[in-house]
Structure 1
Amino acid sequence: MDTINLFSLFASVLPLAAFYFYRVAANLLDRRRPALSTLMNEQRFNWVTQAARRDTPLDAILSGNIMSSVSFFASTTALLILALFTVIGQLHEYAPALSAITFGTHHTEIDLQIHVVVMLVLFVYAFLSFTLSLRQFNHFCILLGAMDHDKPASADEIRTIARINAMAAQRFNAGIRSYYFAIPMVAWFVSGWAAVVVTVGTVFFLLHREYFSDARWLVARITPH
């Protein structure tokens, strides 16, 4: 009877744990150095401020493009979830092929089952994030379309609409981040150590992108913080 490899279990769960604690760490870092996503929230406020002054289809086009991207990721994630369910049901057929790509590590069928379930948890979270983001962007479009251009919008109204947009973007970023942490989960099939190394690399990559990238530096130049 197959037994659970403890290191294999650790390597399976590590990307999911890193995904969660990255968000906690990012909230703490934002207090000292605003992330690129945080800086962009101020630009969302500027967007809504300008939208309140113009009566053109430009803002509807911009919103439509954003929602198309979110919808694409939501539908793609749904297909991945279905694929993982299929793998769980026929894992005994896929196990020999998956074991053939490992280097120095033999994953038992129980190890594979646990790992596929962990991947399923990550992608279900991503799907829920994308669908919630899509719903919130829809709310943003409704609020944007409901603005009365015959009189100046209040600061509270503009801030509320911008905040809805920021919430939607936050959920979208969470879904995208799930895809990043799916990379070390794929590396796990090669080796548990590969999963550990790629998890650490993914964390540093995301931290650099949000806090030290050229894009962050450029946006910080024009955004008060």
Structure 2
Amino acid sequence: MRDIPLIDLIAIGWFLLLWVGYSLFAKKRARHIHCLSSILRTLRVDWMYAVTHKDQHIADAALIGNVERNVTFFASSTILVLAGVLTVLASSEQFVRVIDQLPFTVEQSPTLVLFKLAGMATIMVFAFFKFTWSIRQFGFVSVLLGMAPNMSRSTVSEEERDRYARNTAKVLDQAGHEYNYGLRAYYFALAYLCWFANPWFFITASAVVVGVLYRREYRSRVLRALLATKGYEPGPMPEHERLAQHAAVSTQVQDISEKKDKSE
């Protein structure tokens, strides 16, 4: 650690603070504010509830398989990136000479470069574990789709359909979250690359990544479009909607319950 300048220690501390802090912030905020995570949770419950009213689930399985292939692509790419980082580790001195020839770079010792490469390898390992765990959970969803109750089974009650929809959507939601964590690691890895040139670039790039993530998850046009499908508006959730989000109850099931209450 003595060979690492103070500004580099500050930069890596700032990077970790932003990454961990934003992840915690986004997870907590999703419970009270409309965002991509909250609306997708609702739509996944509605999707799984619709599955219980179908006799064929071929299209649904194809959709899950398509997402699973995307995650598999990123997992495979992560292994290739990790292999490249390990290769550079074996020839760090040549890598230092290449960096020194780039514009806006600062002088850095081989020890510092090794430290930076080890950090990049750690980020890739983290992303790989997130992607592979996401793949496994999408596989679990495929199993759940295979045993989904359908309209041909008249003995299946609405309560059973609701329970299936909520729990299957929860597994699907968790798979989506792990995929998102892996993608987020890629975003921050791009900011991390700036550290090889200049710690000030690294500090700036980390803040820019957080700004991009925040805008896409809370201020993007696609978020407004997704919210509009349910008649929601960007901003804080109303109390009744927040409770429904917490319970992960679909709109269809709530409507059915209300109709039953009125009929009684």
- Scaled by the length of structure 2, the TM-score of the pair is 0.80
What is the CA–CA distance in structure 1 between the aligned matches of 2:15 and 2:166, rounded to whole Å? 35
What is the CA–CA distance in structure 2 between the aligned matches of 1:186 and 1:104, rounded to whole Å? 12
CA RMSD after TM alignment: 1.7
**Structure-to-structure mapping, 1:88-99, within 5 angstroms:** 88-99=89-100
Instruction: Tell me what 1:202 maps to.
Output: 209
Instruction: Report the residue type matching 1:5 in the other structure.
Output: P
Gaps of 5+ in 2: 233-240, 242-264
Instruction: Report the residue type matching 1:125 in the other structure.
Output: F
What is the CA–CA distance in structure 2 between the aligned matches of 1:61 and 1:154, rounded to whole Å? 21
The Cα offsets for residues 113-136 of structure 1, whole Å up to 9 and x where unpaired, read as 111111111111100000000000
Tell me which moved more, 19-28 or 123-132: 19-28
Shift, 1:9, TM fit = 3.0
Instruction: Report the residue type matching 1:44 in the other structure.
Output: R
Instruction: Tell me what 1:30 maps to.
Output: 30
Shift, 1:182, TM fit = 0.8
Match status 1:125 vs 2:132: no
Instruction: Tell me what 2:141 maps to.
Output: 140
Tell me which moved more, 32-41 or 130-139: 32-41
Match status 1:6 vs 2:6: yes
Shift, 1:33, TM fit = 1.1
Q: Which runs of 4+ in 1 moved over 6 A?
A: none
Shift, 1:154, TM fit = 2.4
SS at 1:33's partner residue?
coil
Instruction: Tell me what 2:222 maps to.
Output: 215
Tell me which moved more, 200-209 or 182-191: 182-191
Identity %: 27
SS at 2:196's partner residue?
coil
Q: Is the 8 A contact 1:102 1:191 kept in 2?
A: no
Shift, 1:36, TM fit = 0.8
What is the CA–CA distance in structure 1 between the aligned matches of 2:63 and 2:128, rounded to whole Å? 23
SS at 1:54's partner residue?
coil
Q: Which of 161, 178, 188 is equivalent to 1:181?
A: 188
What is the CA–CA distance in structure 1 between the aligned matches of 2:16 and 2:181, rounded to whole Å? 13
Q: Is the 8 A contact 1:122 1:182 kept in 2?
A: yes
Instruction: Report the residue type matching 2:111 in the other structure.
Output: I
Instruction: Tell me what 2:73 maps to.
Output: 72
Larger Rg computed on CA atoms: 2
- Scaled by the length of structure 1, the TM-score of the pair is 0.93
Instruction: Report the residue type matching 1:154 in the other structure.
Output: R
Instruction: Tell me what 2:20 maps to.
Output: 20
